[in-house]
Amino acid sequence: MENVRNLINITDLTLDEIDHLIEVADDIVANPTDYQDICRHKKLATLFFEPSTRTRLSFEAAMLELGGSVLGFSEAKSSSAAKGESVSDTVRTVGCYADIIAMRHPKEGAPIVAAQKTVVPIINGGDGGHFHPTQTLTDLLTIKRRKGRLNNLVVGLCGDLQFGRTVHSLIEAMLRYENVEFVLISPNELRVPEYIKEKMNEVGVKWTETTSLEEALPKLDILYMTRVQRERFFNQEDYIRLKDSYILDLAKLKLAKEDLSIMHPLPRVNEISVEVDDDPRADYFFQALCGKHVRMALILFLLGIK
């Protein structure tokens, strides 16, 4: 059992392993026919105890494109979990049917429990507010492809930085690269939690906090947008006062660098105005493509194929 690799948290992967995944992801684009049958007769199970159509489709598309097949369920309601079956029992059973499992669960630590119960590799597709490592891999591949590097970057993170797990993971992942500076753009109510600041201070990276997107924009290489949710605010006035200042539109974009890369984990609501979609700096749909490629590379890696 010890030799089985899982992906629960992005820090389960070394920098070399992340580099390897990025290389394979690029090779998949360069030589697609080499990969189209590479997972023939292999099965991926997608166990989504909580619905997330986007993430699930990305995993399934990845496996299908590798020539493998997929099985699973898309919400607890339609599965045995609705009848009260535990994660352990579900995974033990599915481990007999599939070669690899991608799972999402509303409770934190569920994939760790799963990994203890099967010899099949487990990929964490999100466990509550805890980890979502394949999103982070997606983000890293997108940055690498757009910027050609993962070091020497000024990364702006904007929106709900308190509860946004994708933001926390991305910071944690990028802390490991040289000379990355973080600009944290959020309303005072939704700042990055203390433990993330402690981590940044431990590593000694440069980071600044601001409430103004306009102020931050000119120096950014990457702008990672997230949604500011109404229910996070204590009163409506604050929400109404603040919500527009964290919406990216073409007027604000005039302040940005020509080669800015705009990212968003999706789904978006209105925090990026649709008029931005046709701007060459808009990378959030490209990100979705990167997500499929990096999941293909990850499946191959965990299956020990490449």
Q: Which of 132, 144, 165, 168 is catalytic?
A: 132
Alpha-carbon gap, residue 191 to 182, rounded angstroms:
13
Backbone angles phi, psi at 210, to 5 degrees: -150, 160
Alpha-carbon gap, residue 102 to 74, rounded angstroms:
11
54 belongs to the catalytic site: yes
41 belongs to the catalytic site: no
For the bound state, the minimum distance from the C-beta of residue 209 to another protein, rounded and expressed in Å, comes to 24
104 belongs to the catalytic site: yes
Nearer to another protein, 106 or 280 (CB): 106
H/E stretch holding 22 = helix 15-30
14 belongs to the catalytic site: no
Instruction: Give the strands of the sheet with 43-48, arranged side by side.
Output: 69-73, 43-48, 100-105, 122-127
131 closest CA partner among 153, 115, 155, 119: 115
The 65-104 contact track toward another protein, x by CB under 8 A, reads ---------------------xxx----------------
For the bound state, the minimum distance from the C-beta of residue 227 to another protein, rounded and expressed in Å, comes to 20
Q: Scanning residues 99 to 138, which ones bind another protein (CB under 8 A)?
A: 105-110, 112-113, 127-130
Token pair for 243: 């919500």
55 belongs to the catalytic site: yes
Q: Which of 42, 104, 264, 292 is catalytic?
A: 104
Residue ranges with strand state E in 110-211: 122-127, 153-158, 180-185, 207-210
14 binding another protein? (CB under 8 A): no
For the bound state, the minimum distance from the C-beta of residue 45 to another protein, rounded and expressed in Å, comes to 19
Nearer to another protein, 107 or 230 (CB): 107
For the bound state, the minimum distance from the C-beta of residue 128 to another protein, rounded and expressed in Å, comes to 5
**Neighbour count for residue 46 (Cβ, 10 Å):** 26
Q: Scanning residues 246 to 285, which ones bind another protein (CB under 8 A)?
A: none
Alpha-carbon gap, residue 216 to 214, rounded angstroms:
5
Q: Which of 55, 118, 142, 226 is catalytic?
A: 55
**Neighbour count for residue 102 (Cβ, 10 Å):** 32
165 binding another protein? (CB under 8 A): no
244 binding another protein? (CB under 8 A): no
What does the binding site for another protein look like in residue numbers (CB under 8 A)?
86-88, 105-110, 112-113, 127-130
Active site residues: 54-55, 83, 104, 132
